[in-house]
Amino acid sequence: MASLPFASLRTMTGLLLTVGDEILLGQIVNTNAAWLGERLAEVGVDVLRSETVRDDVDAIVTAIDRATDDGAALIVVTGGLGPTHDDVTKEAVARAFGVGVTVRPDVLTWIEDRYAARGRTMPAVGRLMAEVPDGFEPLHNPKGSAPGLWGTRDLDDGRRQIVAMMPGVPHEMKVLAEEAVLPRLAALQDAVVLSRTLLTAGKGESDLAAMIGEQVEGLPEGLTLAYLPGLGEVRLRITARGADREAAQHALDAATDAVRDGLGTLVYGEERTTLAAVVNEALRERGLRLAVAESCTGGAIASRVTEVPGASGVFQGGVIAYSNEAKTDLLGVPADLIEVEGAVSEAVALAMAAGARTRFGADIGVSTTGIAGPGGGTPEKPVGTVWLAYDDGVSTRAVCLQFTPDRATNIALSVTAVLNLVRRQLLRGA
């Protein structure tokens, strides 16, 4: 990949600024920053820092000034655009830019019409949402009353800085970003930016990095690879910047092929699909039906599988056999087997998988049995010990995994591991 043709291309740098006391107090999680960080990277913005400040004019102004000193050409602000006393973002940005704030008649009319369409009269405080810093452009908000705002200024050092303001409500922010902010930023880049995300399961990011070290060594300027770990999965985002679309696409395709070659079947898909969707499709293509027997996962596997549209064509059913008696009565696991081997064991996991397959007349049965925690562990079987099993009537496989002390994490990791086990077994039989 070192031979891929790339020139040195300028990258827009940016700051993510989230405004809101509720975030600093831990009352809500800042999902906006995570979503925006990923989407800005896709259009070629290099985010220098993500910062959260309280609903305070001085704090916001200080953050903007600090970002400017750090060289940020773009400042994306979310939150504080509503009509209440703590919505001070516009005032702060106007002060930082050295401009006034004016009620825009066209914005006021739009807000009034929005209230009227819902059979309501705009309250007096709604007028505050029509205030716009002088020189800024309002951005239509199709999901709420407070418009977004877009403004620019020329700095003393000759640089031009952009400030994009959006509401803090996630669904409003995302629509404004997708429809108004991100397209503008993409158009301002001096290069075409393309990205592709490969989805993997079964290995952590350090293992993946070691496996593709040679393939990605010496990436040319303009081509980057980011590891985005999750619970049992890692997304690899490959981004290519080229002087034109053809050059960027060529580099992206070459890099993608190299990563796929290095990781093989660890890659289960691309972009925004899910592991469950991939498994469901693989079952559908082969005309196979799945049944599950769950102990420590408590129905989470069945839930994940049936979230996918069309799951009725591949999923027969499931049993939550939490107690030993349920394992025996509902799945036919011999009581003496449980007594000798223990409920959390290879033998019991295999018997549960076979029991699910036969009980539902399915082609494949899978199972989980383990110690999710936080209690119940022993020195021999600590919290986080989980056995997974697969049975298709011809071949069987059981896997013992050691996860974490956290119950929710262990359940999530177990679900991912089971789905990936099914996927890998289907590939072997393909």
| pLDDT at residue number 12 | 84
Query: In 10 A of CB 99, how many CB atoms?
Result: 15
Task: State residue 282's pLDDT score.
Answer: 97
Q: What percent of the chain has pLDDT over 70?
A: 96
Output the CATH code of domain 192-270. 3.30.70.2860
Phi, psi of 239 (to 5 degrees): -125, 130
Alpha-carbon span 63 to 265, nearest angstrom:
45
Residue type, 159: R
β-bridge pairing 315-320 and 290-294: parallel
Sheet with 192-201, side-by-side order of all strands: 223-229, 233-242, 192-201, 267-270
Task: Report the topology of domain 275-429.
Answer: Maf protein (3.90.950)
**46 membership: H or E segment, kind and range:** strand 45-53
For the purposes of burial, counting CB atoms within 10 Å of the CB of 303, is it exposed (0-12), middle (13-18) or buried (19 or more)? Answer: middle
The confidence score (pLDDT) of residue 11 equals: 67
Its CATH architecture, for the domain 12-188, is 3-Layer(aba) Sandwich (3.40)
The CA–CA distances, whole Å, from 5 to 1, 245, 248, 350 equal 9, 13, 9, 53
Closest CA to 395 of 371, 364, 356: 364
Q: What is the pLDDT of residues 297-330, one digit of tens each?
A: 999 999 999 999 999 999 999 999 999 999 999 9
Residue 337 and residue 348 in contact, taking contact as beta carbons nearer than 8 Å: yes
The reported pLDDT for the residue numbered 38 is: 84
In this prediction, residue 2 carries a pLDDT of: 32
Kindly tell me the burial class for residue 9, based on how many C-beta atoms sit within 10 Å of its own C-beta (0-12, 13-18, 19 or more): middle
How high is the pLDDT of residue 430? 58
**Burial class of residue 118 (count of CB atoms within 10 Å of its CB; 0-12, 13-18, 19+):** exposed
Q: Residue for token digits 């119940």? A: 376
Tokens 């509503």 sit on residue: 82
Ranges in the chain, pLDDT < 70:
1-11, 218, 221, 430
Q: List the chain domain ranges.
A: 12-188, 192-270, 275-429
DSSP string, 355-370: HHHHHHT-SEEEEEEE
Q: Which of 283, 269, 232, 220 is nearest to 430 (CA)?
A: 283
